[in-house]
Structure 1
Amino acid sequence: MSLPSFWRLTPLAAALLICTETHALELPTQVVTGNPLGSEQLASPTTVLEGDELTLQQKGSLGETLNKQPGVSSSYFGPGASRPIIRGQDGDRIRLLRNGVGALDASSLSYDHAVPLDPVNVERIEIVRGPAALLYGGSAIGGVVNTFDNRIPTEAIEGIQGAGELRYGGADTTRSSAGRLEAGNGAFALHLDASARAFNDLKIPGDARSRHAPDSDDGPSRNGRLGNSDGRQDGGAVGGSYTWDDGYAGLSYSNYDSNYGSPAEQDVRIRMQQDHYAFASQIRNLQGPFTSVKLDAGYTDYEHREIEGGETGTVFKNKGYEARVEARHQPIGPLNGVVGAQVTRNEFSALGEEAFVPQTDTTAGALFILEELQATERLKLSLGGRLEHTQVDPDAKGNARFAGADQSNTFTAGSLSSGAVYTLTPIWSLAATLGYTERAPTFYELYANGAHVATGTFELGDANLKKEKAVSSDLALRFDNGTHKGSFGVFYSHFSNYIGLLGTGRTLNDEGEEDPTGIPEYEYSGVRARFAGFEAQDHWKLGESAYGKFALELSGDYTRATNLDTGEALPRIAPLRLNSGLLWELDRWQARIDVEHAAGQGRVPDNESGTDGYTTLGASAGYRFNVGTSQWLAFVNGENLTNQTVRYASSILRDIAPAPGRSVQVGVRTTF
């Protein structure tokens, strides 16, 4: 009798679960993203998620995995797709990286397009909040999310090591298996990983549709379920490298395949495939003008099919490459720094009846420099700049809808950034940043013209858009006295030209003609805008006794975003959020209880609906044990235990797709 499909493992995952040799891989705690000089403290606010914390926070999508981190919300489009939003900024303002290199997909084009990555394969996630365009380009004007998977090992591996995981449950009845195997002889290292995830239609409290939801032709929705929200994800990779005392060089190949439903369209499935090839190398301890040189490159072939009623309606394709080199120079007096270059090219096409953007090739090249100065014993300064040239070449391919998209656009964008970290006392320090950033408009902001069925809007680009420009600053007070560790920070960004997708008040039919029964028109427009807010967090060690160690985690964030041309709020901004967690550890046991409160969001544009506030309760517990030389963690994780109706203000589907209801998931993870 065969096993149920949700317990079937790939051969690799099965091997990982029965191997019990050697030791677990240890990851460094130092932040890598935006930190080529290896500074112990960065001026920019950062968050690192790894280890048990990453395991318990892990969801099927990157956006949901990071949704509870300070300043990060989710573009939630059901369990199949979501992208992280940082401080109210989304799309091509948030740079998604794999091991420091951009992975081309179509997730920024539409909210129903998933990020082709299963977080189960990720060992570490770093978030840089605020502009990071200096090193990563204009598409990092809002922040960076960098995932690390060690598919190209950067350190020597001796013997065999790896990890495996199984989990079951949750509001969507997830069935997930994953495994990783690494082996080496101290010089050559090999990496293999594989994963499979399947999930059912999401359980929700009550009706999927809110009182603000428009009338639907899909018929009555099922009470207690989010229709057409089931799906699956499969992935795997093979990589290897050669390591030596002063560097490494390696290659990897990974594949991602998924099929999931769109809650916005009950008969639409999305089939996504991506092949990604990567090369990475670093040489250290060089003689001459540069002490080290690092090269990263990746090539991606991505395809996304929207299948309606069993027939393929629209096919999105995106293929291209990105390569970057960073060279650290010898100290020049008190200055330490890096210089670098980056080239990117992607070829995008959308074919089918529902294609609302033309075929477009985008090519970009950039030069950048970053310098650090230890000005005094207490004060460290940083200063850098970037110059980037982008060319966008559309091709209407005879489609009359895109007849106006026949002329190339070129943009030269410049960015400057400065930062300072001042140590007030051994406990207190101040961190500040000030930067000017420019971003070239994307192809869809320039040339979109058509009904976007997934979002229920008619989108219009503007081929005459100018560069997006912003001046941004951060100021944070950080503290660590052994009992309390945390920070309180404020941020402010002023856009002299913010490219927003804004409602015009008109309704159009599929042909772009005014029709009172049609869908709302949204246009990419350049407006003046302001983003401001705060982020706070504290880890408070309450004490230790015979009953275990206790700690309290507190955090909160708030973003206020305004269209300065109209005085209206900008759309899809998360409200004030407050989180508290009580932690407990005793010997091999660990547990926590979490309470999250989100205020109602009534500050919205005139043509959008707000959301009600909510308070949710969560709890988790874990037990560590050893089997031979392998380490195991068995865990249970409960979320929204009081079964509250939760609608994310940051989701375009907030009125028809609430967040999960009561959820309990169990799992086991091993490392060896």
Structure 2
Amino acid sequence: MTHVFQRSAVAATAYSFFSITLGNVWAQTEDAHRLDEVTITARSLERSDLMVPAQQLSGAALTQRQGSTLGETLDNLPGIANSSFGPNVGRPVIRGMDGDRIRILQNSGANMDVSGLSNDHAVPIDPLTTERIEVLRGPATLLYGGSAIGGVVNVIDNRIARERTFDAKGGVMGKAEVRAGGAADERSKGAMVEAGNDKFVLHVDAFERSTQNLRVPKDMTCGEGGPSNGRRVCNSASDSKGGAVGGTLLFDRGYLGLSTSEYRSTYGTVAEPTVRIGMVRRHHVMEGLLREVGAFQDVKFQIGSTNYTHTEFDAGNPESTFKNRGYDLRLEGRQRTMHLSNGLQLDGVVGIQSERNNLQAKADDGANTLLPPSRTRSTGVFIYQALKTSWGQLSVGARAEDVEVQSLEAHQGNLAQTQKFKPLNFAVGAMRNLRQGEAKNGWQLTTNLSASQRAPKDYELFAHGEHAATATYEIGQPSIGLEKGMQLDVGGEWKQGAHKFGITGFASQFSNYISLQPTGTDSFVSGTPDYQFQGVRARFYGIESTAKIRMVAGQDAVLTSNGVHGAMDLELRADVVRAQDLTHNSPMPRIAPMRVGADAVWSRNAWGARFGFMHAAAQNRVPNNGTAPGISTAGHTLWNAGLTFHTHNGPTHWLLFAKLDNLTNKLAYSSTSVLTQTLGANAPPIAGRSLKVGAQVSF
């Protein structure tokens, strides 16, 4: 009865919104000159203020950093590493936390893949069709899910237009990009076209990417004792393609849009020389926003439906299939700004979020594999309030969820069962603004404190089977409780003209951290070591820092028709994280070492250049528990360079770029990759010397 009521409530809410929206579409008066502000980023409340520790990539910066996976694209940003299961699979690792503790969103909606379940499962989002990537931490993460203990990565495209781009006369705009080269001999191309007027916009995009086996600085063999493949990683080639169509109805008080997309990829899993994964994801979204609704400045809804399937083929024969199907709904309202006494202003967001998904993992003979078919339902309500003062800002966030995880069939002697959880999450933050003058030079200080609870995932509860990607036999624990932790970060950013410096310290203390722990025995079924999900006490802490020093002033960096008149900057970055399993007095696995990097960035007129390095220290803090001894990784320094050229021809803008990575062809290994731990000497190293060139045209 409860779920029937929830579905009815969702339907009634959507029907009410559509009725209000369509009524305003037909009742609106003509006004082609007024452009209302529409906020589309995850940092909707902070505007230009630094309220939460966050990073953003867009424009030329995103184009130059773009990799074949989301993890590779964000890798080496302060506090972020790449899980790196070969060149085709990579999720972001933030402050030592990975998997489902990092919530990956697409336009603030649920992504609903199975990349958190296994290290060899890719995220079905391609950077070629991405306009902006935002990394969010602090109180505002509670708007997007209580499981986002490590942070939120929001990948944003423009498949649904959220603001007017064209006037009443209409127009067309677009972008196309080609890339070639790299250590995997990449060939990729993507294009986007938008056309419409001030009432309607149509969006179409498509991409295609193919890579060969990855080139590395050492000879590789295809499996233990297998044949040599030269300096190429066996079974690391890939082919991906996809596209989307979106249409948006725009009106003075908001918008209403639909989009549908498909992503297809076939790639090698690296750990097994004959296993390839064929993936298909279809995603449909309806999104709308209406301004000036009662006490709200705007009300926004989003409904998404996802159908995800991937099949694992061994020597061309289907071996197992994963299916994840579900939907998500978000309804949120941004309050009208309240002007209080003494110049105080209160802004805020309240909302509800509901997600449903069914996961199935079956062998080719129809038997369950790693876990039984499962169903997860979650409903959460959230609130986020920000009080703006003359000296800065205070914020508070809270989220309450009702989560139900069911195994739908008996599996390995365990009966079908249901586990229910009610996680609560709270967060407070403060920003002290010490900047003065029109240039706003000086310090801005921030601090955030949160108490987090995360409901266990289906695989943490019900897994019972061999996991080839990690060379283990994994066993879930249905009785495991909520993951519970406290997080604190304190930081500051200083600015003086073009000079900037920022530093943040963070610490997380968990009374119950769900960890995959060895049992000390081998499986009778597969002969691989048994691992079981257990709750342990854990601590994570570290420091992140960035700086930019204007070395040569030249002219102020201003974008003109001739390009960028600029200067020489020195950009510095460093981070370190320590993570300890306090229950077993052992380091946590797959933690990035201390990293230090520097880049000299030069620009003049249409030209831009970058030259620098990233140094990773040795990682000797690895678990050693007898059955699965940790493997240390040596320190290494990777040198990189880049060159860009901007030019305009009327309304057409060209960007030509070249990127040279690991120019000394250094042999190095990633400490955050599970392959380093499971394959030992046969683990694929970081890509060798790589030159990639590309061109992007927009109009």
Structure 1 position 505, deviation (Å) = 2.9
What do the CA deviations read for 1:154-201 (whole angstroms, capped 9, x no partner)? 112321001000010000000000000001111100100000000000
For 1:216 and 1:233, how far apart are their aligned partners in 2? 25
For 2:552 and 2:224, how far apart are their aligned partners in 1? 58
1:391–1:408 CA contact under 8 A, matched in 2: yes
Letter in 1 for 2:656: A
For 1:221 and 1:457, how far apart are their aligned partners in 2? 26
Letter in 2 for 1:377: S
Which residue of structure 2 aligns with residue 109 of structure 1?
Answer: 117
| SS of equivalent to 1:64 | helix
* Match of residue 403, structure 2, among 371, 390, 393: 390
Aligned residues: 628
- Alignment pair present for 1:318 and 2:336: no
- Alignment pair present for 1:298 and 2:304: yes
* Match of residue 362, structure 2, among 347, 351, 355: 351
For 2:490 and 2:616, how far apart are their aligned partners in 1? 24
Alignment of 1:167-246 (within 5 A): 167-208=179-220, 217=224, 219-246=226-253
- Alignment pair present for 1:257 and 2:247: no
- Alignment pair present for 1:289 and 2:295: yes
Which residue of structure 1 aligns with residue 15 of structure 2?
Answer: none
Which residue of structure 1 aligns with residue 353 of structure 2?
Answer: 342
What do the CA deviations read for 1:50-87 (whole angstroms, capped 9, x no partner)? 11110111011101111021111111011111111101
| SS of equivalent to 1:265 | coil
For 2:456 and 2:593, how far apart are their aligned partners in 1? 27
What do the CA deviations read for 1:614-649 (whole angstroms, capped 9, x no partner)? 001110101112234210011111000000112110
Alignment of 1:172-571 (within 5 A): 172-208=184-220, 217=224, 219-286=226-293, 288-332=294-338, 333=340, 334-352=345-363, 355-374=369-388, 376-396=389-409, 399=411, 401=412, 403-426=413-436, 427-510=442-525, 518-545=527-554, 549-571=567-589
| SS of equivalent to 2:470 | coil
Which residue of structure 2 aligns with residue 515 of structure 1?
Answer: none
Point out where structure 2 has 5 or more consecutive residues left out of the alignment.
1-36, 437-441, 556-564
For 2:194 and 2:418, how far apart are their aligned partners in 1? 47
Structure 1 position 29, deviation (Å) = 13
For 1:545 and 1:644, how far apart are their aligned partners in 2? 35
1:93–1:138 CA contact under 8 A, matched in 2: no
For 1:612 and 1:29, how far apart are their aligned partners in 2? 48
2:550–2:569 CA contact under 8 A, matched in 1: yes
For 2:428 and 2:88, how far apart are their aligned partners in 1? 39
Give the alignment's TM-score, normalised by structure 1. 0.91
What do the CA deviations read for 1:634-667 (whole angstroms, capped 9, x no partner)? 1111000000112110000123121110000111
What do the CA deviations read for 1:529-570 (whole angstroms, capped 9, x no partner)? 000000000122212349961001100111100001121000
Go from structure 1 to structure 2 and tell me whether the alpha carbon gap of 1:30 and 1:249 turns closer, same or farther (over 3 Å shift). Answer: closer
Go from structure 1 to structure 2 and tell me whether the alpha carbon gap of 1:30 and 1:276 turns closer, same or farther (over 3 Å shift). Answer: closer
For 2:134 and 2:336, how far apart are their aligned partners in 1? 28
Structure 1 position 221, deviation (Å) = 4.1
Go from structure 1 to structure 2 and tell me whether the alpha carbon gap of 1:131 and 1:309 turns closer, same or farther (over 3 Å shift). Answer: farther
Structure 1 position 331, deviation (Å) = 4.1
Structure 1 position 246, deviation (Å) = 2.0
Letter in 2 for 1:99: N
What do the CA deviations read for 1:231-277 (whole angstroms, capped 9, x no partner)? 11101000010112221110000000000001100000100000000
Tell which has more relative contact order, 1 or 2 (C-alpha 8 A, sep 6+). 1
Structure 1 position 218, deviation (Å) = 5.5
For 1:406 and 1:32, how far apart are their aligned partners in 2? 41
Alignment of 1:112-123 (within 5 A): 112-123=120-131
Letter in 1 for 2:285: A
1:617–1:641 CA contact under 8 A, matched in 2: yes
Letter in 1 for 2:546: Q
What do the CA deviations read for 1:582-622 (whole angstroms, capped 9, x no partner)? 00111111000020100010000002211111001110101
Go from structure 1 to structure 2 and tell me whether the alpha carbon gap of 1:405 and 1:421 turns closer, same or farther (over 3 Å shift). Answer: farther
Letter in 2 for 1:478: E
For 1:428 and 1:344, how far apart are their aligned partners in 2? 41
| SS of equivalent to 1:355 | coil
Which residue of structure 2 aligns with residue 664 of structure 1?
Answer: 691
Which residue of structure 2 aligns with residue 74 of structure 1?
Answer: 82
Structure 1 position 298, deviation (Å) = 0.9
Which residue of structure 1 aligns with residue 41 of structure 2?
Answer: 32
Which residue of structure 2 aligns with residue 6 of structure 1?
Answer: none
Letter in 2 for 1:197: R
Range moving further from structure 2, 544-553 or 403-412: 544-553
What do the CA deviations read for 1:202-239 (whole angstroms, capped 9, x no partner)? 00001348xxxxx9545144231100000111010000
Structure 1 position 285, deviation (Å) = 2.6
- Alignment pair present for 1:164 and 2:170: no
Please, what is the CA RMSD of the aligned residues? Answer: 1.8
1:354–1:453 CA contact under 8 A, matched in 2: no
Which residue of structure 1 aligns with residue 14 of structure 2?
Answer: none
2:147–2:453 CA contact under 8 A, matched in 1: no
Letter in 2 for 1:278: V
Letter in 2 for 1:304: H
1:496–1:527 CA contact under 8 A, matched in 2: yes
| SS of equivalent to 1:611 | coil
Structure 1 position 504, deviation (Å) = 2.7
1:313–1:354 CA contact under 8 A, matched in 2: no
Letter in 1 for 2:687: P
| SS of equivalent to 1:446 | helix
2:138–2:448 CA contact under 8 A, matched in 1: no
1:591–1:619 CA contact under 8 A, matched in 2: yes
Letter in 2 for 1:422: R
Alignment of 1:126-145 (within 5 A): 126-129=134-137, 133-145=141-153
Point out where structure 1 has 5 or more consecutive residues left out of the alignment.
1-27, 210-214, 512-517
- Alignment pair present for 1:590 and 2:604: no
1:82–1:115 CA contact under 8 A, matched in 2: yes
For 1:552 and 1:463, how far apart are their aligned partners in 2? 52
Structure 1 position 354, deviation (Å) = 7.5
Which residue of structure 2 aligns with residue 577 of structure 1?
Answer: 595
For 2:525 and 2:160, how far apart are their aligned partners in 1? 47
Range moving further from structure 2, 293-302 or 331-340: 331-340
Range moving further from structure 2, 573-582 or 37-46: 37-46
1:138–1:438 CA contact under 8 A, matched in 2: yes
* Match of residue 148, structure 1, among 153, 156, 163: 156
2:223–2:272 CA contact under 8 A, matched in 1: no
For 1:493 and 1:485, how far apart are their aligned partners in 2? 27
Range moving further from structure 2, 124-133 or 364-373: 124-133
1:542–1:551 CA contact under 8 A, matched in 2: yes
For 2:321 and 2:602, how far apart are their aligned partners in 1? 50
For 2:38 and 2:93, how far apart are their aligned partners in 1? 24
Letter in 1 for 2:695: V
For 1:534 and 1:354, how far apart are their aligned partners in 2? 43
Letter in 2 for 1:300: T
For 1:331 and 1:605, how far apart are their aligned partners in 2? 51
Give the alignment's TM-score, normalised by structure 2. 0.87
